[in-house]
Amino acid sequence: MRELMRTNDTVVVGLARSLLEAEGLLVMVVDDNMSVLEGAIGMFPRRVMVVTGELEQARTVLSEAGLGEWLLTA
């Protein structure tokens, strides 16, 4: 798995996950439950992970959907 994006914005994470899953890509969001430990103050970003071989396709999908600014640089 490779990290595709990292953000505190749960709406962006949810949208990215939906778009990627709609394309049939395997997506995993890690650190999603940290908000329970941090008290929901947004201190720990959520990380969107994809299978290494699907990284470029995932980047293309999110860029075309207007989420390119959220992607980590390679």
Question: pLDDT tens across 29-58, in order?
Answer: 998 777 666 666 667 889 999 999 999 999
Where along the chain do its domains lie?
2-66
Distance of CA 27 to the CA centre of its chain: 8
- The predicted pLDDT at position 63 comes to 97
Q: What is the pTM of this model?
A: 0.87
Helix axes 10-22, 55-64, angle to 10 degrees: 110
pLDDT at 7 > cutoff 80:
yes
Residue with the two structure tokens 């329970």 = 36
Closest Cα partner for 59 from 51, 71, 49?
71
The Cα 14–Cα 12 span in angstroms is: 5
pLDDT at 73 > cutoff 90:
no
> Under CATH, domain 2-66 is a member of which superfamily?
UreE, C-terminal domain (3.30.70.790)
Torsion angles phi and psi, residue 14, rounded to 5:
-65, -40
- The predicted pLDDT at position 17 comes to 97
- The predicted pLDDT at position 26 comes to 97
